[in-house]
Amino acid sequence: MTGRRPLGVILAGGLATRMGGGDKGLLPLGGRPLLGHVIDRLSPQVGRLALNANGDPARFDGFGLPVLPDTVEGFAGPLAGVLAGLDWAAGQGADSIVTAAADTPFFPRDLVARLVEASEGQAHPLVLATTPRDGAALKSGGKVNRHPTFGLWPVALRDDLRAALNEGLRKVVLWTDRHGGREALFQAEPFDPFFNVNTPEDLARAETLLERA
């Protein structure tokens, strides 16, 4: 893929049930909101940055980002956030977006470059981030864990995604596989860079990892 850098969209639309509800991105990590760490990692890698979140956008005023609500009815999961981001990007004249989760503060600083590299030759850039499963060595052909909230998505397929969501599709990989989606493999040592904060115990672990990230 050539041309301008993708735009960035941080997905913050999860229900956070294991944290007791609310916005995980607003939880403190290292004395500042978790979302602040995500913004710091993604913003240098993309052209512009926006936040996908539902409800009152005023709670995110301090971050200075456009807040994009889901554009399909009901809680449709991360694909709804991807679609909201694609609709926003279309209005910006962009060709693609890269998404990152609001509760994953240690994702790679070369995420976007690696996703774009993996998309070379695709008619529509569509790539998900992966890591080796069970800590296996990084090698071609090994089993991987796909991280569906970290991906490169083409604006050209937004209407197809909208139709799929309206038909009830919710599983990210079913849609990406349907359109020949690829994978970009990232090392999971010394820890999984896509580690996300789901529980109070995860937040405590993130505090210890902050010094190593």
Binding site for Mg(2+): which residues?
Answer: 103
Structure tokens at 142: 């090994």
Residues tagged in the binding site annotation: 11-13, 24, 52, 70, 103
Q: Is 136 helix (H, G, I), strand (E, B) or coil?
A: coil
Phi, psi of 65 (to 5 degrees): -115, 150
Cβ atoms of 54 and 69 within 8 Å: the answer is yes
Nearest-CA neighbor of 150 among 196, 190, 206, 87?
Answer: 196
> Interhelix angle for 158-166 vs 78-91, to 10°?
150
CA nearest neighbour of 111 among 129, 86, 138: 129
Annotated binding site for GTP: 11-13, 24, 52, 70, 103
Residue with tokens 């499963």: 133
